[in-house]
Each structure stands twice: as C-alpha cells, then as structure tokens.
C-alpha cells in the first residue's frame, strides 16, 4: 500500500476484487439464477460454498440472491423511504469514518473535497445492510436511488458539452458501457472510461449517463443496470448515430 493514499484495507479489498477470476463475469443467465436459488436452498448463507459452485464471487452471488428474493416495490419512492435511505447511509458512513458527529448528507452543501471522498466511499457501501434498514426496497434500488441523489448534487454547476460533441459523448459512453458487459453500475471503472473517452471528466460522464437514463428509458427504476444499457443500445443508439 506504500505510495497509495488510501487505507490498506480498501487497497486490499480493491486488489482482491480486481484479481478474483470469478469477478466481472457479466450478467446472470436464467439458468444461473435458477441454480442460485437451488444452491441457496441447499447451503443457506454459505456464500463461499455457493460461489464455488457458481464460479462467481462471494459478493456477486450474495447480492444477486438478495435481489431475487426481495419483495420488490416498483412504485415511486415515498418521502419516508428516502429518509430511511438517508439515515441508513448516514449511519454506515459514520461507522466507516469513525465520526459520531459526521454531518451533512447530500441535502446540505458539503465542501467539494469532502464531497469527492464521500462519493468514492459510497461505492463500497454495504447495500444488503442498507436494504434491511430501508425495508421496502431491495439493495439495487437503494443503490440506484442513492446514486441518483449523488448525481443530482454533482451535476449542479457542471459545465456541459453541447451540440455534436455532446452527442458523440453520449454515443461513445453507451457503446463503452455495453462493451463492458457488467451486471451492475458498481462494476464500472469510471476512471478508465474517462481516459478511454479522451479525458472527459468522470463526474460529467456519470451525469450524462444519469440524464440519458432518466430521459430515454421508460420505467428505468424497474430495470437493472444491464437492462438499461441494453435498452439504450437497441432503441436509442441508432437514433443518436443517425442524428450525427
């Protein structure tokens, strides 16, 4: 960890994830989902055993099963649910930071440097725990909602590309995300994506994706990340390319 300005535990976690051969295997097929349910009935919460049988990482199978088993509420988030989500994230962040008096969430105006650190921290949040605290949404919905709160905050004051350049960025972003074949937004390496797209700021790419998703994908709240990308490729990408 020498020379990397991060706690050793985060470096270890990231390295283990990067070099785990069972990570980044793409989307779950219907057959895999059925196998996952079968193995869970046999082995319970022994995710290590199930991951070996599935040739997927422990975290991947645990998260996917949480999504499958949870009763899903696809309606709009209520104010009560949003407050539960904010409180759950706040408690986790306080525990992570070791600051009992940790204050502002995105409802307030944090300083830019602190905001960047929190945005990075949120990529590692224990979403199954947050799911349990919210109670009425499964973990992926909680993460999507929290990311939308972050993205809205980050987009304030963000300079936007215009015209042909903006359209080219949308097209390149959709194609790149589709080529990654990732199951979840948390698996997207936005830094590498930023470099691949000519140094477009990471925060700007996230804002672009959020705006395209909200404006172009019907009922996007009900779709997984991979389903959103598939919809954009099939239904919106041709129109964007034709408009160039």
Query: Which pLDDT belongs to residue 116?
Result: 39
pLDDT digit string, tens, across residues 62-116:
878 877 766 566 778 899 999 999 999 888 887 776 654 444 454 444 444 444 3
Closest residue by Cα to residue 174 from 230, 243, 244: 230
pTM higher than 0.85 for the full model? no
- Alpha-carbon span 174 to 190, nearest angstrom: 13
241 has a pLDDT exceeding 70: yes
Q: 141 is written with which tokens?
A: 């919905």
Q: 184 is written with which tokens?
A: 């979840």
Residues in CB range of 74: below 8 A, 6 or more apart: 219, 221, 222
Closest residue by Cα to residue 150 from 94, 100, 110, 180: 110
Residues in CB range of 4: below 8 A, 6 or more apart: 11
For the chain, give the percent of residues with pLDDT over 70: 70
Query: Which pLDDT belongs to residue 126?
Result: 82
Contact 145, 74 (CB under 8 A): no
């Amino acid at each position: 960890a020498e020379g990397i300005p991060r706690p050793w535990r985060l470096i270890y976690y990231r390295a283990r994830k990067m070099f785990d051969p069972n990570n980044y295997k793409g989307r779950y097929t219907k057959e895999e989902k059925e196998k996952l349910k079968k193995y869970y009935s046999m082995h319970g919460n022994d995710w290590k055993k199930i991951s070996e049988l599935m040739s997927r990482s422990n975290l991947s199978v645990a998260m996917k099963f949480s999504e499958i088993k949870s009763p899903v509420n696809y309606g709009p988030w209520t104010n009560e649910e949003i407050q539960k989500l904010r409180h759950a994230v706040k408690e986790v962040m306080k525990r992570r930071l070791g600051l009992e008096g940790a204050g502002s969430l995105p409802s307030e105006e944090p300083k830019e440097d602190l905001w960047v650190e929190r945005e990075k921290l949120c990529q590692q949040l224990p979403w199954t725990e947050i799911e349990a605290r919210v109670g009425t949404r499964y973990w992926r919905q909680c993460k999507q909602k929290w990311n939308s709160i972050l993205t809205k905050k980050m987009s304030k004051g963000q300079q936007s590309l215009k015209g042909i350049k903006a359209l080219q960025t949308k097209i390149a972003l959709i194609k790149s995300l589709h080529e990654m074949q990732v199951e979840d937004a948390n698996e997207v390496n936005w830094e590498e994506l930023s470099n691949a797209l000519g140094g477009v700021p990471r925060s700007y790419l996230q804002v672009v994706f959020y705006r395209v998703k909200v404006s172009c994908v019907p009922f996007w709240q009900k779709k997984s990340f991979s389903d959103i990308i598939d919809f954009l490729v099939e239904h919106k990408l041709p129109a964007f390319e034709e408009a160039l």
